[in-house]
Amino acid sequence: MTEKEKMLAGELYDSFDHELMELRDRARRLCEEYNRTPGDDRARQIQLLDALLGGHGTHVHVEPNVWFDYGFNTTVGENFYCNHDCIFLDCNKITFGDNVLIGPQCGFYAATHPTDPAIRLKGLEYAKPIHIGNNVWIGGGVKVLPGVTIGDNCVIGGGAVVTRDIPAGSVAVGNPAKVIKKV
């Protein structure tokens, strides 16, 4: 099994593997170009998103600056909007449904590290997928941690840290994020 296959399977993998380093370098170059592309050059922005992402719907808008570890592990649906300064540590799949709005300075962190320092010192890490449903609004400064699913029709309040699944039709806020009401 390659390190990339281990990464996508949620197993411990060596992030300094040559293939993975090349893939991250590719994503970094595409992000740098995307972030330098003038906002009125939508055609070029879409070309770069085509090259970077694992897939996307129509009516997709991503404000610069944006950063992906790999890019191809992230897919977004129809009517997707991502505000400025967001980070996607997509060492595993990060999927967004349709009609998703993301506020500025949000982070989606599929990457994680072992709690055992001896394993960490070997340079091993692992990643868990993140899934965001349809019709979700994620406020500014939200952080979504590895393995989390946010159901359809949710609102995540600004500054929340989402450490566990949020059921469909919920409003969640805080650190750690807690459901405070149903939509």
What is the maximal distance between C-alpha atoms in the chain? 49
Answer yes or no: are the C-beta atoms of 102 and 81 closer than 8 Å.
yes
113 has catalytic annotation: yes
In a 13 Å sphere around the CA of 138, the CA atoms on its Cβ side amount to: 35
Which one from 18, 56, 61, 113 is the annotated catalytic residue? 113
Quickly list DSSP for 106-164: -EEE-EE--SSHHHHHTTEEEE--EEE-SS-EE-TT-EE-TT-EE-TT-EE-TT-EE-S
User: Which residues, including other chains, have CB under 8 Å from residue 39's CB and lie 6 or more apart?
Assistant: 45, 64
Secondary structure (H, E, C), 31-78: HHHHHHCCCCCHHHHHHHHHHHCCEECCCEEECCCEEECCCCCEEECC
Cis preceding linkage at 176, omega within 30: yes
Active-site residue list? 113
